[in-house]
Amino acid sequence: MNIAVTYNVLPEEKFIYENFPHPEVKFSFLNEIDEDLHIKTLSEADILLAWNPPRELNEKELHSLGKIKFVQLLSAGYNHVDLNLFSSDCVIASNQGAYAEPMAEHTVAMILALSKRLLINHQKMMQGEFDQKTPSRTLKDSVCGIIGFGSIGKAVANILKNFGTRIFAINTSGKTDDEVEFIGTLKDIRYVLKNSDIILLSIPLDDSTTNLIGKIELEMMKNNAILINVARAAIINEKDLFEHLKSNPDFMAGLDAWWIEPFHSGEFRLNFPFLDLPNVLGSPHNSAIISGALFEGQKRVLENVDRFLNGKELKGIVKRK
């Protein structure tokens, strides 16, 4: 059984691959192999471990993956991968839930910073204005609508409940064992948008969620709602969001995902000056990046490969149309 690894593995991380509980498995790390052997290695591989195949492999290498039976991504998202590169019977899995805890912390930090007007007041004080009268918001008894109630959404909910925040959730089934005040599917999104003080987008990007939030949806939200996106930027219509933020100063947004950023495009660029707006708090898509995060992500990758080899239920299977 041959496994090709396209992402870089640090020397101090190598032991988790060396101690993988399947002696018949051979790992080939492309960064340690001469480039002339990449295509041969990939064409003989049964399993592919990758983070961002379009950036890690050249065009010829991408088209040598026909024998692959299982693709396990290091990333939690998968919209950057062309699924058509793999045969129809190839199983593809994202690293679902691998980075939920740090992303939840980051999300709640954004919610608190915006609710307490920390950035706005900091900027005012830099300009010599000591605004002690404008009230901030409390999270107690507020409603957080979580669009995408998976690992990240649930981790956020668990933290917010300690503040007395009520949870409205959206997932694919409309069912959950978690304690929430409302659970529904995307068919119920308007109800959640209208009744939430905070909206969290933690849903995967696919055809059904691209431009999920546009002018109509933004206008459904409360005038002083807080919108947080730690998923993918394309879930929100970029122009509509900028115009809504510019014309509604009480509406706030915390954005960790951007429409043009290095992971996909090789650069960070804004089509609209979001960061000039006082009601926007931005971060460089680093909500999952803490010390040791990628090492933990690799451990989760190998756990899912072990499930695949043992014929057990996989986590994060990507549904292909």
| DSSP for 258-280, written as a single string | -SS-HHHHSS---SS-GGGSTTE
Q: Assess whether the region 2-98+291-309 and the region 100-282 belong to the same CATH fold.
A: yes
Residue 285 confidence (pLDDT): 96
Task: Take residue 190 and report the two structure tokens written for it.
Answer: 């308007």
What average pLDDT does the segment 134-148 reach? 97
| Per-chain mean pLDDT for the chain | 96
What average pLDDT does the segment 141-166 reach? 97
> What are the residue boundaries of the structural domains of the chain, listed by start?
2-98+291-309, 100-282
What are 80-125's pLDDT values in tens digits?
888 888 998 999 999 998 999 999 999 999 999 999 999 999 999 9
Percentage of the residues of the chain whose pLDDT score is greater than 70: 100
Q: Tell me how crowded residue 133 is: count the other CB atoms within 10 A of its CB.
A: 5
Please tell me what DSSP assigns to residue 213: B
Whether the per-residue pLDDT at 262 is higher than 80: the answer is yes
Whether the per-residue pLDDT at 172 is higher than 90: the answer is yes
CB of 147 within 8 A of CB of 202?
yes
What average pLDDT does the segment 288-316 reach? 95
Whether the per-residue pLDDT at 321 is higher than 70: the answer is no
What average pLDDT does the segment 301-320 reach? 95
End-to-end CA distance of the chain: 28
What average pLDDT does the segment 293-314 reach? 96
What average pLDDT does the segment 277-301 reach? 96
Whether the per-residue pLDDT at 77 is higher than 90: the answer is no
Percentage of the residues of the chain whose pLDDT score is greater than 90: 92
What are 35-70's pLDDT values in tens digits?
999 999 999 999 999 999 989 999 999 999 989 999
Residue 99 confidence (pLDDT): 95
| Residue 136: alpha-carbon gap to chain centroid | 28
CATH 3.40.50.720 at 2-98+291-309, yes or no? yes
CB of 280 within 8 A of CB of 274?
yes
Residue 264 confidence (pLDDT): 83
Is pTM, for the whole model, over 0.85? yes
Element (H, E) at 300: helix 293-309
Residue 8 confidence (pLDDT): 94
Residue 84 confidence (pLDDT): 87
Task: Take residue 264 and report the two structure tokens written for it.
Answer: 């996909």
Provide the total of helices (H) and of strands (E) in the chain, helices listed first.
Answer: 12, 12
**3-class secondary structure, 198:** strand
Q: Which CATH number fits domain 100-282: 3.40.50.720, 3.20.20.70, 3.30.1330.10, 3.40.50.1010?
A: 3.40.50.720
**3-class secondary structure, 311:** coil
Q: Tell me how crowded residue 292 is: count the other CB atoms within 10 A of its CB.
A: 9
Instruction: Of 175, 156, 166, 169, give the one whose Cα is nearest residue 197.
Output: 166
